[in-house]
Amino acid sequence: MEKIGFIGLGIMGKPMAKNLLKAGYELVVHDINRAAVKELVEQGAAEEYSSKGVAEKSEIIITMLPNSPDVKEVILGSNGVLEGAKKGTIIIDMSSIAPLVSKEVAAAARKKGVEMLDAPVSGGEPKAVEGTIAIMVGGPEEVFNKVKDILLVMGSSAVLVGEIGSGNVAKLANQVIVALNIAAMSEAMVLATRAGVDPERVYQAIRGGLAGSTVLDAKVPLALEGNFKPGFRIELHIKDLMNALDTAHAVGVPLPLSSQVMEIMQALKVDGKAGDDHGGIIQFYEKLSRTKVRRK
């Protein structure tokens, strides 16, 4: 089995790395969060103290980082992956970043004989723990085929969408749909509650019909409990929608509904809720209507 480096052990990265260990892969890990590193080391991973050090000891390097600047710093920066990577190394960047940054980083990697895939994911923490995330991949088909088995340890699907950057375009499309779904769910549940109807029964009544969705099933039960502990933070969804809007405007596509949800999330950020789960969008509507959607 290939030796894998894993950089970025956050809400998503940590369980993804754990699933690779469970599958028997040899793992070298690095993160600024020492507690997360310690947890992985206790489960059999080796520790490295820089991205360069991870690259020197790995054939495949997975990065799972918050945003575009982090990816550029970890891969292109001082003591970064490209300083330690050997020719023939494969980088799989599973962060959700701007597609143009994926292309920029991949071009720099290629100059050193290093291949790269952009492979962002969807599903949030529960599916990362289960190993059932959906993985959207951009890059050369021959490189994708070499690592597909590794991706399918972490996810239930891994689809090659197109050339480098395409994975992140697919992720932006995903995030637009998720954001609008959560907003629609929020409006509907607040409406039902304010009209005096039990929101849990409304949810059960509609979930099997055309309005049913993965988002509905994931987020309504948490809203009914008032549980907005982050599986995917509002501040990260703001970042994704910003990338979606920037990309859309660059190619001449207006996104009027996404713009509206972006402003809702910005209002929640101002209200101190940036660290809440994105299902917490419902709190914006609850505040406007002075109505709490909770289990009776």
Active site residues per annotation: 171
Give me the DSSP letters along the chain. --EEEEE--STTHHHHHHHHHHTT-EEEEE-S-HHHHHHHHHTT-EE-SSHHHHHHT-SEEEE--SSHHHHHHHHHSTT-HHHHPPTT-EEEE-S---HHHHHHHHHHHHHTT-EEEE--EESHHHHHHHT-EEEEEES-HHHHHHHHHHHHHHEEEEEEEESTTHHHHHHHHHHHHHHHHHHHHHHHHHHHHHTT--HHHHHHHHTTSTT--HHHHHHHHHHHHT----SSBHHHHHHHHHHHHHHHHHHT---HHHHHHHHHHHHHHHTT-TTSBGGGGHHHHHHHHT------
- By CB neighbour count within 10 A (0-12 exposed, 13-18 middle, 19+ buried), where does 288 fall? exposed
CA distance 109 to 51: 14
Q: 122 forms bridges with which residues in the sheet? A: 134
Q: Which residues contact 251 (CB under 8 A, 6 or more apart)?
A: none
